[in-house]
Amino acid sequence: MSVLLNKPIEYLKGVGPIKGELLNKELQIFTVRDLIYSFPFRYIDKTKFTSISEVSQSGEQVLLRAFLVSLKEVKGQKQRRLVGKLKDASGFLEVVWFKGASWVLKNLEEGKEYVVYGRVNVYKGKKSIPHPEMELVSQSKGVKSSLDPVYSSTEKLNNRGLDSAARKRLIKAVFDELDLDEIPESLPEYLAKKLDLVSKKQAIKYIHLPSSLHEVSKATKRLKFEELFYLQLSILYSKRRRQARIKGAMFEKIGDHFNNYYKNHIPFELTGAQKRVVKEIRKDVQTGYQMNRLLQGDVGSGKTMVALLSMLIALDNGFQACMMAPTEILAQQHHQSLSESLKETEIKVAFLSGSIKGKARKVILENLANGELDIIVGTHALIQDPVIFHNLGLAVIDEQHRFGVEQRSKLWKKNEVVAPHILVMTATPIPRTLAMTAYGDLDVSIIDELPPGRKPVKTIHMKESQRYRVIEFMRTELKKGRQVYVVFPLIEESETLDLENLQEGYERLQDIFRQPDFQISVVHGRMKSADKDLEMQRFVEKKTQIMVATTVIEVGVNVPNASIMVIENTERFGLSQLHQLRGRVGRGAEQSYCILMSGLKLSNEGKERIHTMTSTNDGFKIAEADLRLRGPGQIMGKQQSGVMKFQLANLVEDQTLIKSARSIAMRILDHDPTLENEHNEILKKQLKHYFSEHQDWGRIS
């Protein structure tokens, strides 16, 4: 065990208690080991300098070697800034800081020669580099490598002298003292050899002190693979362990409930995809092990019907079923849908949420506990302690990313004899690489087919200058008896964003669509739940014709009569959000429209989002584009994105590596399920360490 690597970071020469505490808080660096496992995010090739006279294009990244000839504060109309002037043999160039002036003045010195790196900005013909990285030439020469690593930093770290250059010097000092053999190997020799991976100690050295891009590439390949491999190995190991240990309700037969409903009460022919998924679920629930299955399907693909048929299988085997949804209105709609579907059967369905109190609540809880209720639909109220099931066999969770993992885990405790089967549904299609990473512990079923005869929503991009045409089109549809959604990104005016806001939009629509011909509902996130539900219900019952809302209606309103979705400031929404909002229309027999409103100026990303929306209705293609544009964290939200915190791996760029890591992990576990073989001893040791650092919520749906 390395004494140096385990040394607390504050005891490293040049750190001390104050800087050590800052490294703890800002970067979670507590030991010297943490420091060398905090990798650079890019490199500057210090052999390729640009002369100032060659600097031309805005946006280009340049490396200069120049003298800082002046440095002074300048007062502007809105803010003060710090302006420096660089000089080399070919000319002069400004460098500018809009914040952090005190640190710059303290650390940079006029008359000294610097290596300067930054992105060029050209404004009204004047060239400058805002917030450049600058290092004295004398210090820069201290690093042997021509490739200079750049480490992530924060303003607090910069202000305390812990910027990228300082971190580089600390790491260089560690390597001067460190015996590389103290860095333990973490992959079996047979695996590293087969994949042509450098050793762990080589990878760590190459990533910090590379002599060439080839060494950076070899280090990155090794470290990325290890990161992805141990994630996949842990997920698959947990899944197999769960399957071996956790008994699930045994659904041995298909009986009268299922057969009667399937033959006599389904009002349409199931799609091939729905039939395939029902078979996958049937196979799962016959094994005697707990099912944990993710059901993906686009808006309108028929996930609820698959869930209902699965619940009927549970009933046929003497078990109860429940369905949990994130909002009261969505849970109510599921309850109404199931009740309507089962009205000609003897199956008893009930609804439970926090708003049901007193005697009504008591009766529901009693009937649930004594087995008189077959199916219960509700909100997170279902997982509260007073809710006791007689014999819960299947739990269906809709829009699972809205629930925390701990919330969902409470469903396990609702049957003391066997674990209920878990079916989690999402209408937000998840790209394959994201599913393998975030939900790799789940079996995945995909409904990739829409019911026949359903008309695709027509998506149109309109600019502010075309608003009159949009208003007239809305009026035409409203006169036909249809309803309209108008969605805004903000609730109240923001000084920083030039956006339409909900309040202004509501008032404008009131002026255009006057009472008594038209009534308008308003729904936003700051309203009380009861008020929100009341407004939504008025729209559902056609008492209002226009729904002005924020994205709270993204999930949970089913109004077949609504034929237009107008989305204001489209550029402010993510692709996944836009697709979900579009899914609120197109639920009836009439042709529906999604109108994407934007200003005249759009960023390249905004243009790509709008192009994606207008060119496809395929949720999986949209999800892939969203992953590429926004990254996994924003797509998954806070509850699910923890597993995506990679140091080096990238879910978009490293899809091949993810598939390879998963495939190799599967093969290893197929041959050695408990990792008892001598040549896998290192894997078992690393996996134990991995589990100690990553709480294993993965085993819960």
Question: What are 109-118's pLDDT values in tens digits?
Answer: 999 999 898 8
- Over residues 639-648, the pLDDT tens digits come to 444 445 688 9
Q: Which residue has the higher pLDDT, 553 or 262?
A: 262
Q: Is 554 helix (H, G, I), strand (E, B) or coil?
A: coil
CA distance linking residue 145 with residue 47, whole number of Å: 10
- 247 DSSP assignment: B
- Over residues 642-675, the pLDDT tens digits come to 445 688 988 778 888 989 999 999 999 999 999 9
The H or E element containing residue 323 is: strand 320-324
**Highest mean pLDDT out of 55-64, 154-163, 302-311:** 302-311
Q: Is 87 helix (H, G, I), strand (E, B) or coil?
A: strand
Query: In CATH, what number does 458-616 get?
Result: 3.40.50.300
Q: Determine the average pLDDT of the residues in 194-208.
A: 95
Range name among 219-228, 290-299, 428-437, 564-573 with the lowest pLDDT average: 428-437
- In b/e form, how buried is each residue of 60-70, taking b as 16+ CB within 10 angstroms? eebbbbbebee
- Name every residue whose Cβ is closer than 8 Å to that of residue 372 and which is 6 or more positions away in sequence: 348
Q: Which residue has the higher pLDDT, 146 or 107?
A: 107
Q: Determine the average pLDDT of the residues in 504-527.
A: 86
Of 542, 594, 538, 540, nearest in space to 563 by CA: 594
What pLDDT does 669 receive? 94
Q: Determine the average pLDDT of the residues in 235-253.
A: 85
Q: Which residue has the higher pLDDT, 555 or 96?
A: 96
Q: Where are the domains of the chain?
A: 47-146, 458-616
Of 303, 207, 314, nearest in space to 255 by CA: 314
Cα distances from 123 to residues 58, 59, 78, 94, 129, in angstroms, run 8, 11, 17, 12, 11
What pLDDT does 77 receive? 66
Token duo for residue 647? 């140091």
Token duo for residue 93? 């160039």
pLDDT above 70 (res 500)? no
Cα distances from 367 to residues 47, 350, 647, 653, in angstroms, run 78, 10, 51, 53
What pLDDT does 58 receive? 80
What pLDDT does 700 receive? 42
- The pLDDT-based confidence of 183 (bands split at 50, 70, 90) is very high
Q: Determine the average pLDDT of the residues in 437-456.
A: 80
- The pLDDT-based confidence of 302 (bands split at 50, 70, 90) is confident
- Name every residue whose Cβ is closer than 8 Å to that of residue 217 and which is 6 or more positions away in sequence: none
Q: Determine the average pLDDT of the residues in 469-493.
A: 88
Contact between residue 130 and residue 123 where contact means Cβ atoms under 8 Å apart: no
CATH fold match for the domains 47-146 and 458-616: no
Q: Is 452 helix (H, G, I), strand (E, B) or coil?
A: coil
- The pLDDT-based confidence of 402 (bands split at 50, 70, 90) is low
Token duo for residue 180? 């590389």
pLDDT above 90 (res 101)? no
Pairing of strands 421-426, 458-463: unpaired
Residue 171 one-letter amino acid: I
CA distance linking residue 137 with residue 58, whole number of Å: 25
What pLDDT does 157 receive? 87
- Name every residue whose Cβ is closer than 8 Å to that of residue 298 and which is 6 or more positions away in sequence: 427, 429, 447, 448, 450, 583, 618, 619, 620
- Name every residue whose Cβ is closer than 8 Å to that of residue 436 and which is 6 or more positions away in sequence: 232, 658, 659, 662
Of 391, 418, 417, 395, nearest in space to 407 by CA: 395
CA distance linking residue 626 with residue 577, whole number of Å: 10
Residue showing tokens 């027999």? 589
pLDDT above 90 (res 21)? yes
Of 385, 399, 376, 264, nearest in space to 315 by CA: 376
CA distance linking residue 210 with residue 197, whole number of Å: 16
Range name among 404-408, 462-466, 660-664, 676-680 with the lowest pLDDT average: 404-408
- Name every residue whose Cβ is closer than 8 Å to that of residue 210 and which is 6 or more positions away in sequence: 43, 145, 147, 149, 216, 219
The percent of residues above 90 in pLDDT, for the chain, comes to: 45
pLDDT above 60 (res 209)? yes
> In the chain, what is the greatest distance between 2 CA atoms, to the nearest angstrom?
91
What pLDDT does 471 receive? 95
Omega before residue 420 within 30° of 0, cis:
no
What pLDDT does 642 receive? 47
- 61 DSSP assignment: E
What pLDDT does 273 receive? 93
Residue 289 one-letter amino acid: Y
Q: Determine the average pLDDT of the residues in 472-498.
A: 80
Q: What number of residues does the chain have? A: 701
Contact between residue 105 and residue 115 where contact means Cβ atoms under 8 Å apart: no
- In b/e form, how buried is each residue of 688-700, taking b as 16+ CB within 10 angstroms? eebeeeeebbbbb
- Over residues 375-385, the pLDDT tens digits come to 999 988 888 88
pTM, rounded to two decimals? 0.72
Contact between residue 590 and residue 544 where contact means Cβ atoms under 8 Å apart: no
CA distance linking residue 627 with residue 634, whole number of Å: 9
What pLDDT does 258 receive? 95
Strand order across the 483-487 sheet: 458-463, 593-598, 562-567, 483-487, 546-549, 520-523
The percent of residues above 70 in pLDDT, for the chain, comes to: 90
Range name among 130-144, 478-492, 541-555 with the lowest pLDDT average: 130-144
pLDDT above 60 (res 497)? no
pLDDT above 70 (res 535)? yes
Q: Where are the alpha helices (DSSP H) in 296-401?
A: 303-316, 328-341, 358-370
What pLDDT does 516 receive? 81
- In b/e form, how buried is each residue of 21-40, taking b as 16+ CB within 10 angstroms? ebbeebbebebbbbbbebbb
pLDDT above 50 (res 144)? no
Pairing of strands 121-123, 147-150: unpaired
Range name among 218-227, 413-422, 496-505, 659-668 with the lowest pLDDT average: 496-505
3-state DSSP: the chain helix, strand, coil percent, rounded to 5? 45, 20, 35
- The pLDDT-based confidence of 405 (bands split at 50, 70, 90) is low
Q: Determine the average pLDDT of the residues in 525-534.
A: 80
User: What class does CATH assign to 47-146?
Assistant: mainly beta
- The mean predicted confidence, pLDDT, of the chain is 86
